[in-house]
Structure 1
Amino acid sequence: MAVRVDWCDETPGRPQGISYGLVLNDELSERILGFDNSHQFDGASPGDPFDHEHRPGKTGQRFRYDFVSAPQLWDDFLDRVEQHCERAGVTFALEMKDDQDHFR
């Protein structure tokens, strides 16, 4: 799992002023699912925000994601990861370090 978040200038594509990518990769580092705003989604109109998701089994397709907030984005990502792991028969658990401020 990889998470990248950077501050950026506010633009029509990134109106919230952040550039982000949250990705679940397989053992070969191929994307299984993810959320990002690096480019437009399929069917986007000019001026639409870039927020979109990549869904399992839909390689090369990008689906609109309605960004609400960073905490909601994190929750939605973890929900999708958990759903995927459940379908794959894999246990998913997110562990916190002792200081509770960082994931491991």
Structure 2
Amino acid sequence: MSGDRDASLDMLLDLDGQLLVVDPEGGHWVKFVITRVPVSTEKPHGLDYSLTLHGPTGERLVGFDNAHPVGRGKRGEPMDHRHRLLTVKPYAYENAATLLADFWQAVDAVLKERGVL
């Protein structure tokens, strides 16, 4: 990450604590938890974040976060990753704007699969 300040970071941080209903009839909603943390090896962008889409019963359908290790046995350091239904894959964090765009793209894909969009 370069020394340039990520101008979209404030926009992302402003979403902290927001719950948004994206499908009032079907009960799908998104939740944002974003906290500034000290820059570290595990969180080089200085963020602890969780962006999630939930279904009508509260189950997580999509998630982008960096709060826990990824992989079998979940050993190792926390890293950026994405959840889609039951799959977890590493996520290459670039900046806050790209994170938000990627999250909404995944949300749209799942909602289309479920016939919501």
Normalization by structure 2: what TM-score? Answer: 0.68
Q: Which runs of 4+ in 1 moved over 3 A?
A: 43-47
Distance in 2 of aligned mates of 1:25 and 1:17: 26
Higher helix share: 2
Gaps of 5+ in 2: 1-29
Map of 1:40 onto structure 2: 69
The 3-state SS of whatever aligns with 2:48 is strand
Partner of 1:14: 43
Root mean square deviation, CA, Å: 1.8
How many residue pairs match? The answer is 87
Q: CA separation in 1, counterparts of 2:93 and 2:71?
A: 16
Partners of 1:10 and 1:23 in 2: CA distance:
23
Unaligned runs of 5+ in 1: 92-104
How many angstroms does 1:40 deviate by? 1.7
Structure 1 residue 80 and structure 2 residue 89: aligned?
no
Identity of aligned residues (%): 29
